[in-house]
Amino acid sequence: MRAALLLAGLSTLALGAPAAAQSGHAGHGGTQSAPMPMPEKPAPAGDGDHGQMEMPAGASCAPEHAAMGHCTPDAEAAAPDDAPACPPEHAAMGHCAPAIAPPTMPAPSATGMVGTDLPAGDAPAPPPPGDWYADRLYPKSEMEHSRHAMMLENGAQTTAFLSFNLAEYQVRKGRDGYRWDAEGWYGGDINRVTVKSEGEGSFGEAIESIETQLLYSRPVDAYFNLQAGIRQDLGHGPGRTYATVGFEGLAPYWFEVEGALFVSDKGDVSARIEGYYDQRITQQLILQPMAELNVAAQDVPELGVGSGLSDMELGLRLRYEIVREFAPYVGVEWARKFGDTARFARAAGEDASSVSLVMGLRAWF
């Protein structure tokens, strides 16, 4: 009887030990917990997801997992409002995504204009830098001398220029002649001394007229210069000295224009306007129409000048630029005197109009 009871106790102990062991391992402390769900089998990798695993519902996608393509972060969770800033070095390693600030637009002005629509301002220029880096490596006195030379060579230098717009032989009806028109200046970008000279004559005779101007020239904007000085005339008839004020520059559509008002030492008042246009046929072949008009305020019989429109010249010249500084040309010129000027010319035995074939050279230095 005792042996049967002993065998029954040992059997009960043997059957209860595995269940107690399983219960203790599941709870890590003797408390039984619900069994862990088995993960679902991952879906096979497709062409677009590169083996991305499906995350259980409620699970978040860590930035490092998202960087390796294991999951896709939620848009709202990826950039919460209170998320800390993402340093560039962490963003480079894929640990976080930097926030992209929306582009800022310039504030419109009171008139609604922004950017290049705004008019040019008159704010003072920023001061030049005073902490020159080269001064750390070289003596400051030597660098100051070098900077001064650089400024002179980039805007403050003094230069000279000489051009012969016309230097030509004229085939006229009757006696052939010649004509020149030259200009030179010396100075800087702002202040210049300008000399102009023009004249004409016939071969075998004395020079008919010489006109020389000595002018001070100063720019009034990016395209025009204001000029003032004196003019001296020589040739047939009495000489005259004039006070001169005028302009020259580049008009819209690339017209070179020049105008002047003259007041002589005798009180005679006259004016002149002239211009030309360079029409490029090729890079070296250029057709140049030219016009000149002279107006007088009163008759000056000793000079053969009448009041009103006194004379006009129209020319057309075709030049070939062997180089920019050297260009021979051929052309035709028509000249006409009007009003009392024409009457004075006829009384002196001259024609009121003339046509000349011209050939010459245009050069500058």
CA 98 from centroid of its chain's CA atoms: 38
Calpha distance 246→194 (Å, rounded)? 12
Calpha distance 171→358 (Å, rounded)? 6
Query: Predicted confidence band at 104 (pLDDT cuts at 50, 70, 90)?
Result: low
Token pair 């025009």 is at which residue? Answer: 224
Calpha distance 163→158 (Å, rounded)? 17
Q: Which residues pair with 166 in a beta bridge?
A: 181
| pTM score, whole prediction | 0.62
Query: Predicted confidence band at 128 (pLDDT cuts at 50, 70, 90)?
Result: confident
pLDDT in tens, 40-64: 444 444 444 444 445 555 456 666 6
Phi/psi at 201 (5° precision):
-170, 180
Calpha distance 212→227 (Å, rounded)? 14
pLDDT in tens, 10-38: 444 444 444 444 444 444 444 444 444 44
pLDDT in tens, 317-348: 999 999 999 999 999 999 999 999 999 999 98
What mean pLDDT is reported for the chain?
A: 81
pLDDT in tens, 240-249: 999 999 999 9
Calpha distance 70→87 (Å, rounded)? 23
The predicted structure's pLDDT at residue 318? 98
The predicted structure's pLDDT at residue 152? 78
Calpha distance 49→70 (Å, rounded)? 9
The predicted structure's pLDDT at residue 181? 97
